[in-house]
Amino acid sequence: MESKSIFRTCKLFLLILVNFSTQNVGLINMDPKKPMDILHGEYKLPDSPLPLDKYHPTWATVWPLDDEDFQRFEMKLALWPPKYCHAVFLCPVPKVDYTKENFKTQKDMCENKYIKYYPQTKQLVFKADAGSAEVSKYWLNDKLRAFFNKTASGEVFAKFQYSNILADNFNDWMKEIDIDSESLFPINITNSDLLILTNSRMCRVVKVRGAFYPFFKDAIEKDTSKEFPSWIFDGAKYVNSDALFPTAYSETSKTFRHDLLQPLKDKQWHRDGNVGQYTRNCNERTPSIVGMMAEGQAPFMTEGVYSVGIHNPPAAVTAHETSEIYLEVGVCHWFRIWITSRDNQMDKYKDSPPTEYITVFLNEGFFVGPNSDIAHPLPDPFDLTIFRLRGFLKMPPETGYWDGKTLEMAMGSNTEPFVFREYIRMDRIKENSFNMHVITAPGCSMKIGPSLRSNSVPKGVRPINRWKIENCQYTFYT
């Protein structure tokens, strides 16, 4: 099929979905028996796979499997946000050099060998090959895990972990963790990559530590009609995408009925950062990381406060720039981020509005943003040790988010990239300077800085961080 025809086919398919998705964020009816029917055809994929910071996975993506995966012996697949992910299909497809060939669907593709996951019921359905029957099991952990095994003949199998029962409570789940640690379903992936299909453009399924080939990116970027959103910043420009901007946070929804940390406002706050014989304040970073860092842990059970002043220069934005700050969390029950004007120190917290808070309850598995008091789910808290707050530098006017008040809260760990991302509207981050106070639960350890880990950005040029920490302080409550 010629390139023009491919782009035309992709555009027609996407326009149908865009129009259809007005009410349901791009949900599609996918035949579970023939999942590739809706995608039948030929697609021009990018020449090389893309990291998550360059694009977002949506309906259909191909994730390469290579020696680096096999050397780690393990693959993890995560999906987010769960409310949009109703059905996820995974199947091995033959490896293709996409610099020379297009992706071509086949009549029975994904019908003989696959994994189907239905998140709402936690059901997993496996099929090893054309001659075997389906096997129905249940999701075991927060991520779908597979362990690689290479045979003497050179064949490679991915053995997917599952549970035999649907646990109704935490104790049953812990028992299944012990019982099902060796419950693995093998699927032959020799000379294959992984095709992932989802039911919604809002459902992002990610192979942790992986890059991917999106189906529609090349076709959409050739579109000049502004029918596709362009809110994803690839490090140099905003690109058209089939990914919708997340809509969980409405600027018109600012009604708060409950503050789950209301008792804090009745407690006594201390300006002095000395806790007994300990002092917690700013520490200079090593020369390789520009800026300062607030860190520490209260040695007795009291709420701590890490405060930083952030300068956001008004100069014009250039390529390879970012606006971000990192929070590294140790053992912690909860923490609250209060982003406010530069004039507001902790002595003004008692009168502060909830529209300036992001409150994260790690043990309970949810957070409450500044736009309403609705609780939003978190991923497994064992995987959350790093939070990155990144302000959108600029956005095209047609996106509706060009005013610089959009904050991305990306969540990950020291060993894994940011596969979980939420988007929040917050007025203060557009200002040239503002304060960020992080109030933590008793005994919670925290580090705050402009960069806390070496693998937080892709290999290559490290972006310039526009958010400069000018001062920091550690205080506490009694």
Count of structural domains within the chain: 2
How far are the Cα atoms of 101, 148, 228, 319 from residue 62, in angstroms, in the given order? 14, 18, 21, 28
Residue 42 corresponds to which tokens in the numbers above? 């030929």
Residues 177 and 277 in one domain: no
pLDDT of residue 286: 40
Please give the Cα distance from 380 to 79 (Å, whole number).
12
Q: Do 21 and 106 lie in a common domain?
A: yes
CATH of residue 326's domain is: 2.60.120
Are 292 and 146 found together in one domain?
Answer: no
305 and 206 within one domain = no
Question: Which domain, by its residues, includes 407?
Answer: 262-477
Whether 321 and 191 share a structural domain: no
Q: At which of 226, 252, 276 does a domain end?
A: 226
Domain boundary among 201, 226, 251: 226
- What local confidence, expressed as pLDDT, does residue 380 receive? 78
Q: Judge whether 371 lies within some domain.
A: yes
**Which pLDDT belongs to residue 190?**
95
Query: 296 lies in a domain?
Result: yes
Tell me, what's the pLDDT at 396? 58
Does any domain span residue 237?
A: no
Among 226, 249, 281, which residue terminates a domain? 226
Closest CA to 392 of 430, 357, 448: 430
Edge-first strand listing for the sheet containing 156-161: 184-188, 156-161, 144-150, 74-80, 204-207
The model's pTM is 0.82
DSSP result, 168-188: SSHHHHHHHHHHGGG-EEEEE
First to last CA, the chain: 71
The verdict on residue 252 lying in a domain is no
Indicate whether 36 and 183 sit together in one domain: yes
218 in the same domain as 327: no
Q: Does 284 lie in the same domain as 212?
A: no
208 and 267 part of one domain = no
Asked if residue 84 belongs to a domain, the reply is yes
DSSP 425: E
273 and 202 both lie in a single domain: no
Is residue 236 in a domain?
A: no
So what's the pLDDT on residue 1? 41
Residue 235 zone, left/alpha/beta (φ > 0; ψ -120 to 50; rest)? left
Task: Report mean pLDDT in 10-residue bins for the chain, 478 residues.
Answer: 41 44 47 70 91 89 90 88 89 94 86 91 92 90 87 92 79 64 86 93 89 89 74 76 67 62 86 56 46 53 82 68 84 92 92 91 91 84 85 62 77 82 86 91 83 49 75 80
- What pLDDT, on a 0 to 100 scale, did the predictor assign at position 109? 85
Looking at the fold, whether 343 and 390 belong to one and the same domain comes out as yes
Q: Is 254 part of a structural domain of the chain? A: no
Same domain (yes/no): 195, 280: no
Give 292's contacts (C-beta < 8 A, 6+ positions apart).
282, 283, 284, 285, 308, 449, 469, 471, 472
Q: Is residue 256 part of a domain?
A: no
